[in-house]
Chain A
């Protein structure tokens, strides 16, 4: 179990961070998902841990979003508080341009930054759908199970996410 959690913790953290835009909340979500997996499902076969973990993680992320939406509705006069607990702006690619960096690498890095920025701005279901399908390699059925939505919804969210990301990639090439 320890090896599994060590393998998965950074990706889980990044997924939660993209969804929340907040480092502290992302850490809380990941820790909570880990605890629930350990406490409730440690007796399950190890090949079931991965889908179970992502199911817990997705529920926590979507739950966080529901609470945030509710909070924003009640405290509508406050500005969105992304990163308010964090003393640093989230920069997922903190590499800075090097004078000797080949042009191709600079272009790739810029595209990566734009893609991650677009991914961060996607509606949470589109974003998580894309991450589970494309990054975690979950099937449509597994993604639907993890997110608690239908397979049809998964396909729709995934398609819309790809459309937006494709636009960014196309713009970058032109």
Chain B
């Protein structure tokens, strides 16, 4: 943060000096009330530091809590993501849902169809 060199003989630097002088004089005219308000603003800003600053143990607690949550989430989701899917057994799935009696009925029906086929073949040959 260094001021760029200004030469005193340069009219531009003279202008700068005049304005700086005016501004510096204007600082001296800041009223006690304004000064008190500025001091209060500064104190409030500094107080916000202590309010926003957390003790170290709170930071550790937060980090540990986050790590535990991640671990639990991983343990819960891991089996779910690795469970084998039954996409390849789509044709068989309806059968798995059948009751034992219903399976026997299907076997009966297949037997009936087979008998009908046998009768048909015998008639064609006869």
Per-position 1/0 for A136-151, Cβ under 8 A of B: 0111101000000000
Interface size, B (range): 20 to 34
Contact with B46, one of A5, A91, A113, A119 (Cβ below 8 angstroms): A5
Min Cβ gap B29→A in Å is: 5
A116-B45 in contact given A94-B29, A139-B2 (Cβ < 8 Å): no
Q: How far is the CA of A31 from the CA of B2 in the complex (A)?
A: 26
Is B45 a contact partner of A34 (Cβ separation < 8 A)?
yes
Q: Which of A86-129 contact B (CB under 8 A)?
A: 91-95, 108, 111-113, 115-116, 119
Min Cβ gap A55→B in Å is: 13
Q: Which of B24-74 contact A (CB under 8 A)?
A: 25-27, 29-30, 34-35, 37-39, 41-42, 44-46, 48-49, 52
Per-position 1/0 for B1-18, Cβ under 8 A of A: 111100000011001101
Q: Does B77 contact A (CB under 8 A)?
A: no
Is B4 a contact partner of A139 (Cβ separation < 8 A)?
yes
B49 cross-chain contacts in A, Cβ below 8 A: 1, 38-39, 42
Q: Which of A6-62 contact B (CB under 8 A)?
A: 6, 9-11, 13-14, 23, 27, 30-31, 34-35, 37-39, 42, 47, 50-51
Q: Does A69 contact B (CB under 8 A)?
A: no
Report the 5 A-B pairs with minimum CB-CB distance, sorted nearest first. A112-B22, A34-B45, A31-B41, A137-B3, A92-B26
Which B residues contact A (CB, under 8 angstroms)?
1-4, 11-12, 15-16, 18-23, 25-27, 29-30, 34-35, 37-39, 41-42, 44-46, 48-49, 52
Q: List 23 A-B contacts (CB under 8 A).
A: A2-B42, A5-B45, A9-B39, A9-B41, A9-B42, A10-B35, A11-B23, A35-B44, A37-B45, A38-B48, A47-B1, A51-B1, A91-B29, A93-B25, A111-B22, A112-B21, A112-B26, A113-B22, A115-B22, A119-B19, A134-B16, A134-B19, A135-B19
